[in-house]
Structure 1
Amino acid sequence: MNETIVCVVGNVATQPVYRELAAGPSARFRLAVTSRYWDREKSAWTDGHTNFFTVWANRQLAVNVMASVEVGQPVVVQGRLKVRTEVRDGQQQWASADIDAAAIGHDLARGTAAFQRAARPETQPSATRPEPNWETPRPADDRTEAGTGQERHQQAAVPVMVT
């Protein structure tokens, strides 16, 4: 599939807006992404152009965004880029760059965060599954081959799940 997957780092520019839709929860916020470059003449970092993206989150990601993201926080957003334009009377009226987010997280290069796993809704267990058996297989035979003096190749013991 020809999709443009992007990863952008920026600051939350607007308070996230949450909605309950028929398809499930949805949230959106604006993300400001400013490029920075080293100005040799000034011997200092300088801000470049700022791009704004509308970030869309759906389902559990939307719920988690509402509980975790606030204006001004540095975040990393990964998702599909969609550019929308509206044309009236043959002239372009506006363009918007949206990101349909797959993942959103705080930028830990600029601060700390404490992760808390989201509670899952209670569901009826279906058929009971057997517990996995995480036994480690025995290592390969390490005897030398007859007459050659070379050791046989040993493979590292890898845990194997036996069901």
Structure 2
Amino acid sequence: MNDAHITVIGWLAEDPHYTMTTNGTPFLSLRVGCTPRRFDRQTGRWQDQTPMFLTVNCWRNLADNVNASELRRGQPVVVTGRLRIREYVKDGQFRFSPEVEATTLGHDMTRGSAHFRPVQRGGAMTDDDRLEAQQANDRWALGGPRTESGPDASQDEGSTGDPWADGSQADRGDGTPGGADQEDGGDQGDPVDLRATAA
């Protein structure tokens, strides 16, 4: 099978949305923003480029575990998974939106620390938890799916800004914002820090 596998390093643009399918399969959706950076030889500094936003979908155990974790809007994350291009219609025109079917997801440990809690399969959720999730899913279904989930929605979410872009929260400990990025660049031509890289 030919698949495009991708790794995205960025931040949560919104809190995760957890729900259940009609057959009881756990499902979680979230938006991840990432800001590519390029080295400006004239200024000698790294410059932030236009932020990009991706929808990330998690299923089954991954959805349960992400929902039980303390992942919130603005936190740095790393996502790996399969890249999908979703087609949709808006204003009578066909449009395309990139999505990631996640295989792994977690905090970016270069930005902070986290506490890992192993779970026992079958005990990750109680019946009450599943009932509550199903009721939340029913309420979401009555309201209808978001129609602004395409690329245009990214522009709206871009107003939230990259919480790590200005370097105030991205100090790697060497006294310079994004120090690791500069080390990676070296002298090999124009160094580029790709916040989303396809494998």
- Aligned partners of 1:53 and 1:97 also within 8 Å: yes
CA distance in 2, matches of 1:73, 1:88: 31
**Structure 1 stretches of 4+ moved >3 Å:** none
Deviations 1:1-25 (A, max 9, x none): 1111111111010111011111510
CA contact (8 A) 1:85 1:92 kept: no
Could you say which residue in structure 1 is the equivalent of 2:72?
70
Deviation at 1:111, TM superposition (A): 1.1
| Identical residues among aligned pairs (%) | 40
Q: Which residue of 77, 85, 88 corresponds with 1:86?
A: 88
Change (3 A) 1:47 1:18: same
Mapping of residues 19-34 of structure 1, within 5 Å: 19-21=19-21, 22-34=23-35
Q: Which moved more, 1:92-101 or 1:8-17?
A: 92-101
Which of these two proteins has the greater Rg computed from alpha carbons? 1
Of 38-47 and 26-35, the range deviating more from structure 2: 38-47
Q: Normalising by the residue count of structure 1, what TM-score does the alignment of the two structures yield?
A: 0.68
1:100 paired to 2:101: yes
CA drift of 1:88 comes to 7.5
Indicate the SS of the match to 1:66: helix
TM-score normalized by structure 2?
0.56
- Unaligned regions of 5+ residues in structure 2, if any? 124-199
Higher helix share: 2
C-alpha distance in structure 2 between counterparts of 1:87 and 1:62, whole Å: 27
2:45 match: 44
Report the count of equivalent residues.
121
3-state secondary structure, aligned to 1:49: coil
Q: Which AA in structure 2 matches 1:12?
A: L
> Secondary structure, in 3 states, of the residue corresponding to 2:36?
strand
Instruction: Select between 78-87 and 1-10 the one with higher mean Cα deviation.
Output: 78-87
For residue 92 of structure 1, report the CA deviation from its aligned partner: 4.0
The alpha-carbon deviation at position 110 of structure 1 amounts to: 1.2
Residue segments in structure 1 that go unaligned for 5+ positions in a row: 123-163
Decide which structure has greater strand share. Answer: 1
Matches within 5 A, 1:132-143: none
Give the AA of the match of 2:54: F
Which residue of structure 2 aligns with residue 128 of structure 1? none
Q: How well do the aligned residues superpose, as a CA RMSD in angstroms? A: 1.9
Change (3 A) 1:20 1:111: same
Q: Name the amino acid aligned to 1:64.
A: N
Distance 1:44 1:15, change over 3 A: same
